[in-house]
């Protein structure tokens, strides 16, 4: 059995010092949103509790599906790198970027330099950039494929983009992993499911993504972005590919979104007869004052088995 843990949208805080020059862009809107909303509901203590419980569950690998930061400030990107170092070695942790990680032009290149070790495919040397996605890693009988939908967008927009070049590379990787008899997992930030988020947050290229997975096949898709613990199925033509979302990893109880959770996916079987068991673990209870966040208890919610034959 291979145990894969999945966390997303940790939105690490607090924000570092921000200059007027930093805010001379779309960041000014994000800064206002942080001060009015995210600062009250996204807490490092919550992330610490979630990560501690996640590590105690003994996962073989950890998938992080984006939005590690808020405004993609240089200080945030560096802080996120230190957080990744504490989370686990690059061999044991795989990351894909989210829209907040590419919040303004130039930010994507900076995260590629800073977080490269956690976003690099097996056997790849040298610097990475946008064309390095998707990347492929093999751990045990599992192929982990990291797709990037992150791009700087206009104010009030948080869309993702899945374009033709990446689609072609993804298809080739899916075929390669299938030939090796591997269980294939796609990690992506924006949900490739219609209606999963509002229009200003949706993924452009959903039809292209569906076409690729129908043609080449995949066993599981993990995403973030919606801040919701969701389970959908895509594929058509008799296919039933599970698409799994997760609550934001730093969300305290009492906000408009569910409190922080992570997913545990136990994968076993063999080619053509894989079985997945999805368990969600997260914070429970009513709204709790910040002084008590460290003492939050973790509860368990278990989804039915997902069986693909």
> Mean pLDDT over residues 59-87, rounded?
94
Indicate if the pLDDT at residue 113 is higher than 80: yes
pLDDT band, residue 294 (cuts 50/70/90): very low
- Residue 185: closest CA among 103, 306, 68, 99: 306
pLDDT band, residue 84 (cuts 50/70/90): very high
- The DSSP code for 155 is T
Q: Strands 306-308 and 61-64, how do they pair?
A: unpaired
pLDDT, tens digit, 9 for 90 and up, residues 193-241: 999 999 999 999 999 999 999 999 999 999 999 999 999 999 877 778 9
Indicate if the pLDDT at residue 40 is higher than 90: no
Topology of domain 4-13+25-308, CATH: Purple Acid Phosphatase; chain A, domain 2 (3.60.21)
CA distances from 119 to 136, 148, 164, 173, 263 (A): 9, 10, 20, 16, 20
Domain boundaries, the chain: 4-13+25-308
Q: For residues 263 and 278, is the Cβ–Cβ distance under 8 A?
A: yes
- Residue 42: closest CA among 290, 222, 264, 284: 290
Whole-model pTM? 0.86
């Amino acid at each position: 059995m291979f145990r894969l843990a999945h966390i997303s949208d940790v939105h690490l805080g607090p924000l570092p010092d921000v200059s007027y020059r930093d805010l001379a862009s779309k960041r000014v809107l994000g800064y206002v949103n942080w001060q009015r909303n995210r600062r009250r509901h996204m807490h490092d203590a919550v992330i610490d509790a979630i990560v501690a419980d996640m590590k105690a569950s003994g996962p073989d690998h950890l998938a992080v599906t984006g939005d590690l930061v808020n405004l993609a400030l240089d200080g945030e990107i560096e802080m996120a790198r230190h957080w990744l170092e504490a989370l686990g070695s690059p061999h044991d942790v795989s990351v894909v970027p989210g829209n907040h990680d590419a919040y303004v032009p130039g930010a994507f290149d900076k995260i590629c330099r800073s977080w490269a070790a956690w976003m690099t495919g097996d056997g790849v040397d040298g610097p990475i950039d946008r064309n390095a996605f998707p990347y492929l890693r093999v751990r045990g009988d599992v192929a982990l494929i990291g797709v990037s939908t992150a791009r700087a967008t206009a104010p009030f927009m948080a869309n993702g983009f899945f374009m033709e070049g990446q689609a072609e590379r993804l298809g080739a990787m899916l075929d390669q992993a299938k030939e090796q008899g591997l269980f294939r997992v796609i990690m992506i930030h924006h949900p490739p499911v219609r209606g999963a988020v509002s229009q200003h947050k949706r993924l452009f290229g959903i039809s292209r993504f569906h076409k690729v997975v129908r043609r080449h096949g995949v066993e599981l898709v993990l995403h973030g972005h919606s801040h919701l613990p969701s389970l959908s199925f895509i594929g058509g033509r008799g296919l039933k590919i599970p698409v799994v979302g997760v609550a934001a990893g730093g969300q305290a109880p009492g906000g408009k979104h569910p409190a922080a959770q992570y997913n545990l996916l136990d994968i076993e079987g063999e080619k053509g007869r894989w079985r997945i068991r999805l368990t969600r673990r997260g914070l429970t209870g009513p709204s709790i004052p910040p002084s008590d966040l460290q003492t939050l208890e973790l509860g368990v919610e278990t989804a039915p088995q997902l069986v693909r034959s």
